[in-house]
Amino acid sequence: MRSALDPSHFPSPLRDLAAKVRDGVRLDAADATLCFETPDLLHLGQLANVVRRERHGNIAYFNLNRHINPTNLCVYTYNCKFCSFAALPGEAHAWKMSHEEVYEHAAQQGGNAVTEFHIVSGLHAELDLPWYEEMLRGLKQRFPDVHLKAFTAIEIGFFAKLHKLSIEEVLVRLREAGLGSLPGGGAEIFHEEVRQIICDGKLDANEWIEVHRQAHQLGLKSNATMLYGHVEGIEHKVDHLMRLRTLQDDTGGFNTFIPLAYHPENNYMGLKYHTTGTEDLRHLATARLVLDNFPHIKAYWIMITPKLAQVSLSFGANDIDGTVVEETIYHMAGASTEQKMSRSELERIVREAGFEPVERDTLYNRVERPVAASA
Ligand code: V47
């Protein structure tokens, strides 16, 4: 019971929603629909902020992380119409790193000074499971303290099909090689109606969910995402959130939910609009209210800009991702943000927004440093 919350201060129809939030009653699909439909963004945000502050008080998390994308060559280049990152052999923007190039890149990107490498690739038949096992082992040897958050469910499913292995066998092998957790990519929108339009032929919703379920059962934490702002309808997003919430009820293995704003440049979707600030805030606030069993809601500053990430901390978000330095997926799709932020800049924007910045590792343990590092 959140007694400080007075539903009579909320206009109808948010009053009933406010009463449910006050009483700790789980929101249903109709409530989630209302969150997506209401024009009253400020009251929606206020409710999300109550829940966020109850869980996390004044704290906003960030981490010192780096992205590594060993290749963008991808056999699904034509399937995933929204993706601006993927390339076909011979295209000017295609790349494929060797193991040595991955290690060199990791070292240049901060090496042991960071706590996380976020590693995602295109689906490339030559860079198979043994290639990635060796890469993980090589990274762990050189950077033993850096957590390896790697491979979307799509990549895990691809390795399983390529080598005729079960999802569990793939995950066990990768974990033995040094995998620490899974990022949340590849979820897009679960509903088949939308998947057929934006990523026909890719891993379906049940398979994505199965990869994460198996990971959680093996003790690997993971994140979840939802790609919004393209052809999806509200009913598809409600369905997406409900499926994630059900899996989290079963396993408790998700750390963070990250709503991903669609970026329209350089892909095959044929859409031209970026999402608006109100849409971005609405998705974060709705996620905080509906995903009551997800501890963390991330406002990915690379995607929604540092300025909006600041505001989002009062709309349900409690994490703004990390220092990053080199980001490709969003910048190839038209993101106009910087690619990096120093630790002190991240801390400054969080403080300016009225919150206490706390450095975390991938698994949300606090990182204590004797002297402020700048990675
Ligand atoms: O799955 C691809 C999305 C995802 C576009 O786990 C696009 O901490 C918008 O999952 N417009 C990969 N989105 C990125 C991702 C992620 C990002 C940050 C943190 C974490 C985490 C995970 O990027 C893909 C897809 O949904 N994406 N193309 C685009 N044009």
CATH number at residue 68: 3.20.20.70
Domain presence at residue 39: no
| 260 CA from centroid of ligand 1 (Å) | 6
Domain presence at residue 5: no
Domain presence at residue 156: yes
> For the whole model, what pTM was predicted?
0.97
Count of domains forming the chain: 1
Q: Where are the alpha helices (DSSP H) in the chain?
A: 14-23, 29-37, 41-56, 99-108, 129-142, 153-163, 167-177, 192-198, 205-217, 234-251, 277-290, 301-304, 306-312, 343-352
Domain presence at residue 31: no
Atom 9 of ligand 1 has which residue's CA nearest to it? 262
Q: H/E element holding 1?
A: none
Residue-level pLDDT at 329: 84
| 13 CA from centroid of ligand 1 (Å) | 33
Domain presence at residue 45: no
Atom 14 of ligand 1 has which residue's CA nearest to it? 185
For ligand 1, mutation pick of 115, 203, 227, 263 (most atoms within 8 Å of CB) = 227
Atom 21 of ligand 1 has which residue's CA nearest to it? 183
Question: Is the CB of 255 inside a 6 Å radius of any atom of ligand 1?
Answer: no
Question: Is the CB of 285 inside a 6 Å radius of any atom of ligand 1?
Answer: no
Domain presence at residue 4: no
Helices 99-108 and 129-142: crossing angle in degrees, nearest 10, is: 40
Question: Is the CB of 61 inside a 6 Å radius of any atom of ligand 1?
Answer: no
Residue-level pLDDT at 369: 84
Tell which phi-psi region holds residue 305, choosing left (phi > 0), alpha (psi between -120 and 50) or beta.
left
Residue-level pLDDT at 259: 98
Question: Is the CB of 260 inside a 6 Å radius of any atom of ligand 1?
Answer: yes
Question: Is the CB of 225 inside a 6 Å radius of any atom of ligand 1?
Answer: yes
Residue-level pLDDT at 280: 98
Residue-level pLDDT at 334: 87
Residue-level pLDDT at 253: 98
Domain presence at residue 20: no
Average pLDDT for runs of 10 along the chain of length 375: 87 96 97 98 98 98 95 93 93 96 94 94 95 98 97 98 98 98 98 97 97 98 98 98 98 98 93 96 98 98 95 98 87 86 94 98 93 57
Residue-level pLDDT at 372: 53
Domain span holding position 105 = 53-359
